[in-house]
Amino acid sequence: MAIEKSPYLPKQMNGPVINSVMSAMEEQLDNTKIIENYLYTLKISTAQETELENIGRIIGYPRPLVPEGLNQENLLIFTHLPQEIDETIGFGTIGEETGGRFSTVEPGESNYMALGLYRKFLEKVAYIKRYGITIYAVDNIARLIARNYTISWNETTQDIEIHFQNAIGYQNVWILSELFYRLATAPQVIIYDGE
């Protein structure tokens, strides 16, 4: 197989050795075009789980680990750890400990945010990263969780408040609160769960 002459070299440098070097360099560049094409066609809406998590890391919103206990409804929440209400003593218990420990959730006792919800959140977080916290952006994120809510401005605290009319669950309150703690400093976005 003859090595083709490079169209990029002057005629006096078009010998077999230099063309072999140029051919090898072009082959290396062709390999990078595959990566370039992959990155160009990668989208939040079509990415696989691992790809989506990597996009989240790039955007600045890694897939959250939601504490396992936050899917229960009979809870008192002290700091980060949910506690079940004990009707006989009027306080919470976790395992065999009355009152529980005031610490973070142990490793392995958490689960990732559902992939479909994470995909939707990433699109909205990317929008916020581009345009900042606006009422429109807050509305789009709240709409991912439920449709019945009001957004108001608190004149005293100068914060945006979202009041859900129906209970959305501790897990969703946690997800929204953690998201807005990351994205909003002033004004804050405060979540109120309906009952």
pLDDT at 167: 85
- The predicted-structure confidence for 10-26, as pLDDT tens digits, reads as follows 777 777 788 888 888 88
Which residues, other chains included, contact 21 with Cβ-Cβ below 8 Å and sequence gap of 6+? Answer: none
Q: Identify the residue with better confidence: 99 or 33.
A: 33
**Would the pTM of this model clear 0.75, i.e. be above it?**
no
pLDDT at 163: 92
Which range is least confidently modeled, 3-12, 102-111, 132-141? 102-111
pLDDT at 150: 92
Q: Identify the residue with better confidence: 101 or 65.
A: 65
- The predicted-structure confidence for 144-185, as pLDDT tens digits, reads as follows 888 899 999 989 988 899 999 988 877 788 888 888 888 887
Inter-residue contact 180 to 193 (CB < 8 Å): no
pLDDT at 102: 44
- pLDDT tier at 101, thresholds 50, 70, 90: very low
- pLDDT tier at 104, thresholds 50, 70, 90: very low
Residue corresponding to tokens 């914060």:
159
pLDDT at 2: 66
Q: Identify the residue with better confidence: 78 or 194.
A: 194
